[in-house]
Amino acid sequence: MYAYRINWVRVGFKTFAILGLIVIAIVNYAPLKIDLKPEAWAAWVQAIGSILAILTAVLIPALQHATTKRDGMRPATSP
């Protein structure tokens, strides 16, 4: 059976790049210009980053568990 392992570093970099391009497109090419102060931008960036961090913290273990279960391997235990 072919075991496929996910390279999470590549997934992270690609996701970060895609989300960055989406944010740049929204900010630069949105029909409505968003007029916020730098403090407000910082708050929005922090809020979105926090949400992405929480989603990442939930999704990566879930995907790893599903992969382990699918491949029939036992999860690693600490000594």
Q: Where are the alpha helices (DSSP H) in 1-79?
A: 8-29, 38-71
Residue 48: which residues within 8 A CB-CB, separation 6 or more? none
| Per-residue model confidence (pLDDT) at position 79 | 61
Claim: this prediction has a pTM higher than 0.85: no
Both structure tokens of 8:
């999470």
- Checking if the pLDDT of 55 tops 60, the result is yes
pLDDT tens profile 3-52: 567 777 788 788 888 888 887 777 777 666 667 788 888 888 888 889 88
Do 36 and 44 contact (CB within 8 A), yes or no?
yes
